[in-house]
Structure formats: structure tokens, C-alpha cells
Structure 1
Amino acid sequence: MLNRWLMVLVAVCGAALLSGCATGGSKAVVHDAQVLNGIDVLVRNGFDVLEGQRVGLITNHTGLSREGRSTIELFNEAENLELVTLFSPEHGLKGELDRKVEDSEDPLTGLKVYSLYGKNFKPTPEMLEGLDVLVFDIQDIGTRFYTYIATMGHAMDAAGDAGVKFVVLDRPNPIRGDRVFGPINDVDGKLTAYHPSPLVHGMTVGELAMMFNAERELGADLTVVHMEGWRRDLWFDQTNQVWVNPSPNMRSLTQATLYPGIGLVEACRVSVGRGTDTPFEVFGAPWIEPLSLAARLNSLNLPGVRFVPYRFTPDASKFKGEACGGVQVILTDREAFEPIQTGLSIVRELRLLFGDDFDVDKVNRLLFEEAVLEHVKASQWPEDYRVLWAEPLEAFMAVRAGYLIYE
């Protein structure tokens, strides 16, 4: 009997320790929130804000209620609204495609699905004809260059021009709503830098919609259906919600946390692990020597992260079938982790170690801040980079404060 109780005690303690390790901290995550997404609140309230409306829905496979029912299904069954048209973002309605997406037909409803990641990034007037309201319900991951928020912005712009109402069903920022990092983009990009903001913005899609609408003067008749129970200090695994991969290569909260740093080199001649089991947890290239790179990166003592020499061969995407040297990125403390300092440090070390083999200028295809990149190219120390964006970031934070919904 005693042995059995000892085994139970060991199992419980082991689970607690593993939970603590998974969060990157010294104690286990406390799953203390029961978060209702915008779709859950809308359903509970009898679809009140859509009563009697002809609806176009911008969504994908992440548009789910807490019970796992799709927003498409819920809208299609609702008796007090008419679902007319569907729109899909990058990766398509099912979130499976890593290429431009064609228009299609939804097998559940038989409705037309217009792609907003193909010939058009923005709904055309013809697509919006006969609609009273556009609804947006997609899970974002909290990084500026993830394209879903730009899709929302372009759709709001089109809705404002067409006199069609716009409703956002809000969802959590999975990497928290109180962590903001990085420079402000100095140009607008169609899908990867829609609005001047830091790389990690710490906002929900509903808050971003309010900011886009006001600051860009889009003129949309906007309603945000708020979440209930969400706090800014919550990581996604503290919301008691089911993780659904938002895109084919975003497969865990750890990857979403690392993404704004590791993703900075994705436009370069570097694999970020697409075509492996752990995208954005590894990076490398055939020309990288893993031992020297890992040693240099670890010598910087970057907070919350360590680097392990690693070799891998992607079976898809960049360097498909080629052996790559690189590093595995280990998140040791997600609370301390600073993604942009880490990402720019990686850029700096790749340039110092491997010279012209690393096409450093392509970093700006996602960074969108030439002055910062020039300092990195000049081999300035990583701690100095933050001085470059301190003043613009402070100004952004002042504007951002006016659009925050949640405490």
C-alpha cells in the first residue's frame, strides 16, 4: 500500500515539474480562466448583433466555439440571420494550403468561398453586393507579419467603402496582451505590415480592428463582440481553450512565442524548419556550421532561450531534401524571453559568421525598419537596438492605450 501511494506522489510531483518546465518558469501554469470567445458570446446572446442581416463571413478552421462547432455551421443553422458568402485568408478555409488560394465552394453549405489570398487581398464591391454585414472570426497569433490581421484591415476598408457593417468576433492574443516588443514598421506592407505597429503588438484582433478603423480612417461601421474572462496576462494555455494550429506551420504555443524572432530570417536563404516536425523551433542552411553558431548565440546569454547545435533535412519548402546545419531553439523561460532581441541577435551572428552566404538585406522584408537593420549589419550589440525604437514605441503605446478593451 505504501509503495502505491509513493508512486502516486511521484507521478503528481513529476506532472507538476513537467508543467513548470513547459511554461519556462519555476512553477506550474495555473489554468484559472474560463474564456468565452466572441462567437461564444454571440451565440449565447442569440446572434443579437446580426439579427435579420445578410452576412458575409471571413473565417477559417480556427473559427470555432468552445464546444468545437465551426462559426460557419453555427451561422448556417441560425434562424435570425442569413449566411450568404464566405471569405478565406491565407492557407484557405481549412488552413491547409501553403500557396496562393483560389476561390472555391464550401462543402458544408454549398456557399461561394472568396479567397483573400490569391488574385484579391481585399473584397471587391461585387463580392460585397447584397451583404448587410461582414463578420471576421479568425485566431491570430500576435505578430505583426502574420497575415490574418492585414486581411481583416483590408476587408474593413472595403466594407467602409461599400457601406457594409463590420463585426469582429474577438479571440485571445495567444502570446499575451501585455507584452509588446520591437520597432515600428517604417512603410506599409500589403499583408505583413498593414499598419505602423511593433513586431509584437500585444493586442487582440478586436482591439486592432478598432485601432485600424480610427487611425486609418477606414470609415467602417464597426462592432466588436468582446470576449469574456480574458485577461492581458494570460498565455493561450491559461484560457482553458483547445489549441488549433492557425496555419500549417504554426503547431504549438511555443512556436507562436518564438515566431516573431525566428521568423525574421524566413525571407533569407535560411530554413526556419518548414518541412520538419518543429517549424520555428529550428533554423539552418546547408552553409551553416552548427557548433560555432550555437556557441556564439549562447555566449550572448539572451534571456529565456538557449541554442543546441542541430542538423536536419527538410522534406518540404526551402532546402527540401538538403542537409542543413543550424540550431534547435529551446525556450527556457517564456516570461523572460525577448523575441526581437533574439531575432536580431541571430541576424547579427549569421552575418558575422557566414558573411555573404547570409543575404541579410532580405530581413527587411518582414522587419520593415531600415535603420534598425543597418545597425545590425554594422555589428552593433543586441542590447543597443532597443534605443533605436524606444521613442516610436512609446508613441505607439500611447495610441494603443486608447483601444484596449481588456484589463
Structure 2
Amino acid sequence: MIRVLLSLCIFSLFACSHAQELELGASRMDQYLHLLENKRVGLVVNQTSVINTTHLVDTLLSRGVNVVKVMAPEHGFRGEAPDGAKIDDAKDEKTGLPIISIYGKSKKPSPEMLEDLDVLIFDIQDVGIRFYTFISTMHYVMEAAAENGKKVIVLDRPNPNGMYVDGPVKDDDINSFVAMHPIPVVHGLTVGELALMINAEGWLKDGVKSDLTVISMAGWDHTKTYSLPISPSPNLPTDNAITLYPSLGFFEGTVVSVGRGTDFPFEVIGHPDYSKGTFSFTPKPNQGSKYPPLEDELCVGKFFGNETAKHELNLSYLLEYHNDLKDDTTFFRPYINILSGTKSFKEQVELGWTEEQIKATWQPKLNAYKAMRKKYLLYSDFE
């Protein structure tokens, strides 16, 4: 059963999208508090799950909601754990609530985790990129809830990269926690819209359907930019880094550093052997990365922090570095196939294809995806 709660607007679409103040799904409590009455509630949240300046946990407790537990994704409940670090179970010092890891031994809630719950609320800020792990966590939450007869409520938030769609659509034979859905790298959906797509397209295991309610936003649409008030993870600390993430993320499948272990992750690229660099940095272990690539090595490359990044998936940086470093046998790591979602991308780069030639091969699947995407949009689109 799917129930989508949309705000009704009596003004024109232009007036709604440009004059109405942003109201997050979490803020629209009149739309979902009644669904929590006399229910045992679990929250899938992190540091971004706030209403104004108050965390959703505290807000719901103050309203008398029976919050039983918190489930913590990658980076943990407070968003402070390094990339890829195993999250342990804990107890929240402020509320005394148990914090259950769903980024440790298992990334999918077990029946035991859900047996004392009736409803699961997912409220996490995403950045709109396929290999960002929070949408995979949402998938597993929906799947586990469907298998165990629990309800899911997704509180929607803006997609800061939601004004375009680009990148290769994942091939069927590539599957990973960062490559779960047949969608492009830049998918152009909010978490609420994507939840609807996952459910209706039968992507949950064995085609199970989640009892899903999406609480939509008011005052936002896909033509708008959005500046995140709270960093969604340690290595995406700025709006610029979030905008660059689709383009620089591919470098994680190469020998080139994207600045993990620095104060400017995803605003820099560099390698010790790069010959054309104008900026240098040395990755060191820090809060965001315990074991950063090229640790303690002087990397030479490009710094993007002094310019405003464009909302685009730009392959020119990767092609330039590949051409300069040349050695095809070591430039790419196997991870590139998972990040790109296709084995052909690596092969095309190694054959010397141009950005235009590579992107042309994406278009048939992208066009099919864009047509499917329109069925699940809750907000005015950029096209």
C-alpha cells in the first residue's frame, strides 16, 4: 500500500515553487503524527535529521511519541564516524535510547531488531548520487519492514543535485551496497521519490511491497538549488564538495586522491606523479578518513575550493589525469566498475574515447530511465 501526501496549492505552479517557504517532510507533523499514535516507533536517522535546530528524536519525544530505538547508518547517529567504519550498537546519552547499528555486521535490519516496532521512520539527508550509501540503507529498511509486516514512513528532504540526471545506468550484472538500483549516477530524485520507485518497480527482494508513506515537502522543486545546513557526512563538508561529488567520485576507483584525509575532501584531486598540478597536499588520517588513500604522500593536482562548481557530471578531469598518468594497468582499481555501474566505462577511457563519445553510449538507457522517473516525481521538474 502506498500513500503519498502532497500539499495542495491554490496558486500557480510558479508562485508555489518560487514564493513558498521550504517546509521539510519532517516539519509537516500534521501529516504523520496521527500515524504514530499508539505505535512503537523506530527511527533511521543521523545528524541531519533536524527540524529547524531540533533533532527529530527530541521533537517526537516531546510530542509523546513512543520512540523505542534509533537505527544508525554509515557514519553513525552523530555522523562522526570515518568513511567505511563499522558502526557499533550504543546508547544515546541524552535520551537513553538504544542505538542499533545497521552499518556493521549487517546492513539490513534483522527480524529481531524489528520485533518490538510497528513503524519505521526514515529521515536522512541524501545528496542524489547512486553510490552514496544512505539510499541503500533506505532500500534495506523498506525490504526488512515489508518482510516483517512493519510500516515505513519516509520524511522527504531536498536533493542538492536534483536539478539534472546524468551518468551511466547500472548494469544488471553489477551489484553492491553502492550499486543497488538500475538508476544513473545522478538520479535526480529525492529519497521519497526514489522510495516510491523502488517499491513500485519491484526492486525489493522477491518483489515484496513496503507499506510505505512518503511525507512530501512544500516549497521545493527540482529547479531549485539547496544549501545543506548540516554536512551529510564527514567527507562532504561543503556545498561545493556535494556539487563536485558526481564528477570526482569516479576518482575513488583510481589511484588519484580526492582529498580524503585533508580539510577539503572532494574539492581537490591529486597524485604524486601528476605533472600539471598547481596545488599540493598530503593526506593524513583524520576524523573523516582513518586510512586515506596516498597517506603521507605529497600529491600534486587541482584545487576547486576557490570556484563555484557547476551542477554537472564532468568527465574531463578524469580523462585528463588518465592521459597524464598513462599506465592503464595501474590507473584504475576494480572499484571503478562498481562506481560507474558498468564495465564499459573503464574500457572506453582506456581506449581514448572522448567525453562526448562516452556520454553518447549512456543515452539510450538514460532516456528510458527519465521516462520511468517521471512516474514518481512529487515536485515540479527541471524539464
Give the TM-score normalised by the residue count of structure 1. 0.81
- What whole-Å deviation, never above 9, does each CA across 1:258-289 have from its counterpart, x for those lacking one? 00110111133221111212111101122222
Q: How does 1:376-391 map to 2 (within 5 A)?
A: 376-391=349-364
The residue that corresponds to 1:10 in the other structure is none
Q: How does 1:6-17 map to 2 (within 5 A)?
A: none
Is the 2:253–2:334 Cα contact (8 Å) retained in structure 1? Answer: no
Q: Comparing both chains, which one has the higher relative contact order based on Cα–Cα distances under 8 Å and sequence gaps of 6 or more? A: 2
1:76 aligns with 2:61: yes
The residue that corresponds to 1:349 in the other structure is 320
Give the one of 72, 88, 96 matched to 1:110: 96
Offset at residue 338 of structure 1 (A): 2.5
2:294 is aligned with what amino acid?
F
The residue that corresponds to 1:405 in the other structure is 378
1:325 aligns with 2:306: no
Aligned equivalents of 2:342 and 2:270: distance in 1? Answer: 24
Of 202-211 and 189-198, the range deviating more from structure 2: 189-198
Q: How many residues align?
A: 349
Aligned equivalents of 2:372 and 2:32: distance in 1? Answer: 34
The residue that corresponds to 2:142 in the other structure is 156
The alpha-carbon distance between structure 1 residues 262 and 189, as it changes in their structure 2 partners (threshold 3 A), is same
The residue that corresponds to 2:10 in the other structure is none
Give the one of 26, 30, 38 matched to 2:25: 38
Aligned equivalents of 1:361 and 1:131: distance in 2? Answer: 40
Provide the secondary structure at the position in 1 that maps to 2:116: coil
Which entry has the higher C-alpha Rg, 1 or 2? 1
Is the 1:150–1:190 Cα contact (8 Å) retained in structure 2? Answer: no
Aligned equivalents of 1:371 and 1:69: distance in 2? Answer: 46
Give the one of 129, 145, 165 matched to 1:143: 129
Offset at residue 362 of structure 1 (A): 3.5
Aligned equivalents of 2:38 and 2:276: distance in 1? Answer: 60
Give the one of 211, 216, 223 matched to 2:213: 223
Aligned equivalents of 1:139 and 1:321: distance in 2? Answer: 32
Aligned equivalents of 1:256 and 1:74: distance in 2? Answer: 28
Offset at residue 332 of structure 1 (A): 5.4
The residue that corresponds to 2:167 in the other structure is 182
Aligned equivalents of 2:124 and 2:32: distance in 1? Answer: 20
Of 30-39 and 154-163, the range deviating more from structure 2: 30-39
1:314 aligns with 2:289: no
Q: How does 1:7-406 map to 2 (within 5 A)?
A: 34-42=21-29, 44-45=30-31, 47-65=33-51, 67-79=52-64, 81-98=65-82, 99-175=85-161, 177-186=162-171, 187-215=173-201, 216=203, 217-237=207-227, 243-291=229-277, 309-316=278-285, 317-329=292-304, 334=309, 337-339=311-313, 342-343=314-315, 345-354=316-325, 355=327, 356-359=329-332, 361-406=334-379
Offset at residue 85 of structure 1 (A): 1.3
Is the 1:350–1:358 Cα contact (8 Å) retained in structure 2? Answer: no
Provide the secondary structure at the position in 2 that maps to 1:86: strand
Of 153-162 and 105-114, the range deviating more from structure 2: 105-114
Offset at residue 328 of structure 1 (A): 1.5
Offset at residue 219 of structure 1 (A): 1.0
Alignment RMSD (CA, Å): 1.9
Offset at residue 359 of structure 1 (A): 2.7
Aligned equivalents of 2:174 and 2:148: distance in 1? Answer: 23
The alpha-carbon distance between structure 1 residues 32 and 329, as it changes in their structure 2 partners (threshold 3 A), is farther
Aligned equivalents of 2:192 and 2:95: distance in 1? Answer: 27
Provide the secondary structure at the position in 2 that maps to 1:266: helix
Offset at residue 333 of structure 1 (A): 6.3
The residue that corresponds to 2:8 in the other structure is none
Offset at residue 156 of structure 1 (A): 0.3
Offset at residue 374 of structure 1 (A): 1.2
Of 372-381 and 181-190, the range deviating more from structure 2: 181-190
The alpha-carbon distance between structure 1 residues 190 and 55, as it changes in their structure 2 partners (threshold 3 A), is farther
2:55 is aligned with what amino acid?
S
Aligned equivalents of 1:324 and 1:84: distance in 2? Answer: 47
Aligned equivalents of 2:334 and 2:175: distance in 1? Answer: 16
Unaligned runs of 5+ in 2: 1-16, 286-291
1:322 is aligned with what amino acid?
E
Give the TM-score normalised by the residue count of structure 2. 0.86
Aligned equivalents of 1:364 and 1:190: distance in 2? Answer: 10
Report the structure, 1 or 2, having the larger helix content: 1
Provide the secondary structure at the position in 1 that maps to 2:168: strand
Unaligned runs of 5+ in 1: 1-29, 292-308
Aligned equivalents of 1:146 and 1:138: distance in 2? Answer: 12
- What whole-Å deviation, never above 9, does each CA across 1:5-64 have from its counterpart, x for those lacking one? xxxxxxxxxxxxxxxxxxxxxxxxx9955211111002x457122222110100000000
Offset at residue 358 of structure 1 (A): 1.6
- What whole-Å deviation, never above 9, does each CA across 1:139-182 have from its counterpart, x for those lacking one? 0011110000000001100000000000000000012x330011
2:344 is aligned with what amino acid?
A
Offset at residue 330 of structure 1 (A): 6.0
The alpha-carbon distance between structure 1 residues 231 and 372, as it changes in their structure 2 partners (threshold 3 A), is same
1:325 is aligned with what amino acid?
V
